């Protein structure tokens, strides 16, 4: 059968043979055995409903075996035989060009060169899934291939509920992931209901089909690390020869060494999973691989003496690095952590003193012992960091729930008031006041032709647009503008593409709209093929996350999720091709609500109207909320926007004299 024929058949007519799992595949951690006997039977009953009754007798014991071995039913037998990667958009059998674009984006998320655990349909973060099982993938691709521009596909946590009549102006796909009743949104609830096959963790851009490989976070990491060094170094001094110490090389965190090289420092990144470390090395995202801690110390000292720009992956535990660097008197200038601590008990964080293999065995066979080891390790981890910060290291939480889980473990990470953390979130210190409050966030696009020349042309268009805007931009945003112009001009040289021909930069509402408009005009003229627009959910308006995206909201509303909900609803009727809203992502299940969108630019006047209407709201919704929280930069940004856009009327806060409040209680 051809690729198109396989897509159109969906669930095959004949039961396929069982497939061996590739030995070299990076497998997802084995999940905890959390279901009762009755619940296990329910999980198998739930899985079998995708298939004809005649197949049930053969599939039931197979699914029971998967549930026993892996803690989940992935339906490996039904993984398609064709290669999964982002093909040119005209390769997909589809009645709707918009649907074909979504098929392309789904396959990019599951490309083995992109995905962290491709056999388990997990894109990044240890559990950030596109689908729960391969049957859902097959059905979804068939629906997309057969739908019209007057239908909408509704996705319930990976499950394609079906095609419903809608309209040409409606989104083609509406995605929800993990949207639990609040009292059933604890981490153990995810374990249970995901094992039952009724919900999933979509992370941020995994379950919304907008992941573009580690490039997506390289830019944000570059901006963050660059400004971290700016905060601590004397004016005019460069990061050359200075150390960034961090951990994590899977999925999103794999971007750290590449970002460190762009910034121009020495990056030391520890990773316990040797396969993940070697993958990044083979992809050219890290320069050096080292497995011996003392060899690492010697290599770092050489790099310091020569003021090298180099990224070093240490295959081992980061706690050892912090401790041994302290003993060796190696000064760490900037420190952070990007392990997946949003899932600390299921492989997101590996405890020091335990091998990777032994830890994975504990996760499955003795989860309580594993949890104890993780919490002991977190206390030791924090103790080592504290020793460095007393020497002057600038440490920040990178929004991975490190400080949150360390505090829950009883580690010494709390401020004197016993309410706040002693270290800031990177959003509190850097991205919030510098970028999000002014509307700058991670704007993305994908060239659906798959043609590298199209990507080069879009880089050129975007750079030209930003340079034009910068000439008249106020002083408050000149630094952000220049950083992003420098970024886009060097993007190709930095070899950032993994998977689809995609790009990212930080732009405000004016930049996003003008870049998108220029792209649409280029598509209309035949200069480039159709473009998919999107963004990371980690943005101005899309995400309510009190320990990350909204950690610089101080009016008490950072624990609310109105902004994210309004974002996805507002985008859906203003022209998005698809919209998504997730529970979890970044800092963990039950800790955040995040929304995203995708939009196809096909060169039409309708696309021009949609992009201007939707992008304007997508950004200004967040600026308005941040302004109401009394964030100085956001007040400036929303007042400026109301002057430019008479049809925009936003409630602006009246500020209160602190002295007045001091006398009241």
Residue numbering of the annotated binding site:
125-126, 203, 271, 398, 586
Q: Measuring CA to CA, which residue among 233, 245, 382, 381 is closest to residue 300?
A: 245
CA 138 centroid distance within chain: 24
DSSP lists the bridge partners of residue 176 as 156, 581
Helix (H) / strand (E) containing 259 = helix 256-263
Q: Which element (helix H / strand E) includes 107?
A: helix 97-110
Residue 464: Cβ-neighbour burial (10 angstroms; 0-12, 13-18, 19+): middle
Print burial letters for 140-173: b (CB count within 10 Å at least 16), e (below 16). bbbbbbbbebebbbbbbbbbbeebeebeeebbbb
Place of tokens 């952590």: 337
Bind-site residues for NAD(+): 125-126, 203, 271, 398, 586
CA angle 177, 204, 107 (to 5 degrees): 85
The C-alpha angle 32, 34, 36, rounded to 5 degrees, equals 150
The tally of CA atoms less than 13 A away on the side-chain side of residue 37 is 0
CA terminus-to-terminus distance, the chain: 76
- Cβ atoms within 10 Å of 449's Cβ, excluding its own: 18
Tokens of 99: 């649907």
Q: Contact 403/413 with Cβ under 8 angstroms?
A: yes
Quote the tokens at residue 153. Answer: 């596909």
Output the six-digit token pair for 104.
């392309």
| Cα 443 to the center of its chain, rounded Å | 13
């Amino acid at each position: 059968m051809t690729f198109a024929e396989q897509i159109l058949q969906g669930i095959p007519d004949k039961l396929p043979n069982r497939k061996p799992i590739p030995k070299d595949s990076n497998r997802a951690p084995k999940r905890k055995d959390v279901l009762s006997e009755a619940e296990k039977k329910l999980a198998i009953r739930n899985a079998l409903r995708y298939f004809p009754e005649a197949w049930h007798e053969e599939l039931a014991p197979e699914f029971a075996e998967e549930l026993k071995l892996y803690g989940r039913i992935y339906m490996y037998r039904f993984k398609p035989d064709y290669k999964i990667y982002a093909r040119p958009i005209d390769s997909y059998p589809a009645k709707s060009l918009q649907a074909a674009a979504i098929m392309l984006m789904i396959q990019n998320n599951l490309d083995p060169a992109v995905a962290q655990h491709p056999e388990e349909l997990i894109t990044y973060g240890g559990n950030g899934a596109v689908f729960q099982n391969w049957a859902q993938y097959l059905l979804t691709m068939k629906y997309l291939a057969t739908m019209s521009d007057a239908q909408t596909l509704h996705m319930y946590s990976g499950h394609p509920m079906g095609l419903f009549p809608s309209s040409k102006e409606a989104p083609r796909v509406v995605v929800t992931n993990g949207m639990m009743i609040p009292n059933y949104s604890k981490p153990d609830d995810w374990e249970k209901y995901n094992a039952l096959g009724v919900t999933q963790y979509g992370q941020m851009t995994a379950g919304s089909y907008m992941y573009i490989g580690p490039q997506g976070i390289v830019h944000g990491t570059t901006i963050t690390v660059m400004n971290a060094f700016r905060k601590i170094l004397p004016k005019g001094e460069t990061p050359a020869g200075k150390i960034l110490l961090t951990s994590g090389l899977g999925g999103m965190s794999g971007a750290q060494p590449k970002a460190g090289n762009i910034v121009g420092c020495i990056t030391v990144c520890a990773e316990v999973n040797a396969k993940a470390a070697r993958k990044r090395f083979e992809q050219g995202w890290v320069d050096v691989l080292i497995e011996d801690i003392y060899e690492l110390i010697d290599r770092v000292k050489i790099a310091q003496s020569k003021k090298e720009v180099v990224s070093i992956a240490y295959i081992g535990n980061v706690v050892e690095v912090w401790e041994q660097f302290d003993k060796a008197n190696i000064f760490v200038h900037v420190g952070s952590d990007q392990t997946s601590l949003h899932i600390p008990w299921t492989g997101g964080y590996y405890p020091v003193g335990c091998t990777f293999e032994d830890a994975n065995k504990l996760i499955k066979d003795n989860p309580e012992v594993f949890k104890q080891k993780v919490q002991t390790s977190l206390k030791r981890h924090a103790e080592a960091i504290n020793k460095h910060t007393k020497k002057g290291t600038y440490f920040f939480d990178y929004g991975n729930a490190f400080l949150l889980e360390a505090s829950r473990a009883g580690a010494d990470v709390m401020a004197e008031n016993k309410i706040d953390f002693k270290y800031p979130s990177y959003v509190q210190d850097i991205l919030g006041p510098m970028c999000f409050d002014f509307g700058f966030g991670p704007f993305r696009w994908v060239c659906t032709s798959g043609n590298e020349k199209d990507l080069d042309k879009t880089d050129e268009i975007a750079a030209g647009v930003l340079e034009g805007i910068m000439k008249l931009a106020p002083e408050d945003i000149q630094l952000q503008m220049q950083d992003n112009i420098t970024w886009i001009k060097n993007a190709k040289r930095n070899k950032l593409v993994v998977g689809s021909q995609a790009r990212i930069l930080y732009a405000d509402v004016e930049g996003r709209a003008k870049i998108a408009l220029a792209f649409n005009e280029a598509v209309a003229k035949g200069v480039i093929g159709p473009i998919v627009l999107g963004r990371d959910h980690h943005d101005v308006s899309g995400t309510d996350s009190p320990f990350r995206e909204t950690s610089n909201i101080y009016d008490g509303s950072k624990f609310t999720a109105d902004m994210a909900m309004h974002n996805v609803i507002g985008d859906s009727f203003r022209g998005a091709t698809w919209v998504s809203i997730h529970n979890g992502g970044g800092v963990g299940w039950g800790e955040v609500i995040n929304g995203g969108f995708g939009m196809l630019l096909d060169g039409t006047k309708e696309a021009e109207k949609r992009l201007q209407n939707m992008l304007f709201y997508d950004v200004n919704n967040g600026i308005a909320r941040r302004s109401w929280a009394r964030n100085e930069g956001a007040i400036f940004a929303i007042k400026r926007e109301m002057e430019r856009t008479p049809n925009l009327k936003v409630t602006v806060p009246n500020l209160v004299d602190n002295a007045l409040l001091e006398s009241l209680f």
